[in-house]
């Protein structure tokens, strides 16, 4: 059931595309871009970093053709790696030794924050929710423990019970909307709501590449769901009423008023400042009228697939 995080998916896709440019050539690269377009739009429509990465590759091909496309893919990978590392480093500076943190899921950005805390010798405790139905929180807890931190694994429904022990909430994001809302693992919005009630600060670690330019122009982010098989087996469902239905959302939306700061490679921003950030930073990903899907589709004119 475990799915790759948004950042892990970015790295996997870039590594695959680079391999194709070296071994197979232009036709296979374009074919794979179309396959990825369909996969992302159908399976991971909220994975904004992947969409923005593929958008930039598409724009590069439309402007320069396939000249040095392998080098450009490497450059994109290095840029994303650096932005993720920088955002995590900035967040780690806002955490003091002795503080108690709470997180969920298995965000690569959060893991990088913990790595920086370990390298800086900051001794923190961390509570991690199981993050059902995928149980990704177990992976984060295991990683945090491997770094030497004191870790408490808790069930998702116990967040309000333990929030009194927490100093800061640190989470990752699948996407950041133009109004400062974030799309993240299901349960994140409840964590943020409980934190707001308890007057605990909530930080979201997300490189600018995870910002959604489409939401500037009125588009809505789509939230995928798990298949019912992630909850019950086919044998078990035969014992239930015929009209029984199970819904398993993968992500939820946390409103900006529940978030204290979004931490990027450019620094910390209030959610309300995201429209300004989107308009001033990362111009290539905010082209009006050039959606990710349209850019990939327009490559058809360059090569027969």
- pLDDT score at 282: 54
What is the pLDDT averaged over residues 38-42?
86
Confidence label for 241 from pLDDT (cuts 50, 70 and 90): confident
Listed range (103-117, 141-155, 193-207, 279-293) with the worst mean pLDDT:
279-293
Confidence check: pLDDT of 217 > 60? no
Listed range (45-54, 61-70, 245-254) with the worst mean pLDDT:
245-254
Strands, E assignment, 20-167: 100-103, 125-129, 150-154
Q: Higher pLDDT residue, 7 or 38?
A: 7
Report pLDDT digits (tens) over 122-143: 999 999 999 988 889 999 999 9
Q: What mean pLDDT is reported for the chain?
A: 88
- pLDDT score at 289: 53
Confidence label for 224 from pLDDT (cuts 50, 70 and 90): confident
Report pLDDT digits (tens) over 253-300: 999 999 999 999 999 999 988 877 777 665 555 454 567 778 877 876
N- to C-terminal Cα distance for the chain? 33
Full 3-state SS string of 214-254:
HHHHCCCCCCCEECHHHCCCHHHHCCCCCCCCCCEECEEEE
Confidence label for 34 from pLDDT (cuts 50, 70 and 90): confident
> Which residue segments constitute the domains of the chain, with CATH numbers given?
6-82+286-301 (no CATH), 97-219+248-283 (3.40.50.10470)
Confidence check: pLDDT of 164 > 90? yes
Q: What is the dihedral of CA 42, 47, 52, 53, to 10 degrees?
A: -90
CA distances to 39, 68, 73, 89, 101 from 111, in Å = 26, 33, 24, 11, 13
Confidence check: pLDDT of 35 > 50? yes
Spatial separation of the C-alpha atoms in residues 255 and 271, rounded to whole Å: 9
């Amino acid at each position: 059931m475990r799915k790759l995080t948004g950042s892990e998916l970015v790295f996997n896709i870039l590594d695959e595309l680079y391999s194709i440019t070296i071994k197979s050539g232009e036709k296979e690269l374009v074919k794979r871009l179309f396959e990825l377009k369909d996969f992302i739009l159908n399976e991971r429509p909220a994975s904004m970093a992947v969409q923005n990465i593929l958008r930039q590759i598409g724009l590069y091909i439309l402007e320069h053709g396939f000249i040095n496309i392998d080098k450009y893919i490497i450059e994109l990978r290095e840029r994303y790696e650096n932005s993720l590392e920088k955002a995590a480093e900035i967040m780690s500076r806002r955490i003091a030794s002795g503080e108690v943190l709470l997180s969920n899921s298995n965000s690569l950005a959060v893991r990088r924050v913990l790595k920086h805390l370990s390298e800086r010798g900051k001794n923190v405790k961390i509570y991690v929710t199981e993050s059902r139905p995928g149980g990704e929180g177990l992976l984060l807890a295991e990683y945090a423990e491997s770094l030497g931190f004191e870790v408490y694994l808790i069930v998702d429904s116990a967040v309000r019970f333990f929030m009194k022990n927490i100093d800061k909430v640190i989470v990752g994001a699948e996407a950041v909307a133009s109004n400062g809302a974030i799309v993240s693992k299901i349960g994140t919005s409840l964590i943020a709501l409980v934190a707001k009630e308890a007057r605990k600060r909530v930080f979201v670690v997300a490189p600018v590449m995870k910002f959604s330019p489409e939401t500037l122009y009125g588009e809505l982010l789509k939230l995928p769901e798990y298949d019912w098989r992630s909850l019950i087996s086919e044998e078990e469902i035969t014992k239930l009423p015929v009209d029984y239905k199970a819904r398993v959302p993968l992500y939820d939306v946390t409103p900006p008023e529940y978030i204290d700061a979004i931490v990027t490679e450019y620094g910390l921003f209030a959610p309300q400042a995201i429209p300004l950030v989107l308009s001033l930073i990362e111009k290539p990903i905010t082209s009006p009228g050039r959606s990710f899907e349209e850019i990939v589709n327009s490559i058809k004119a360059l090569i027969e697939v």
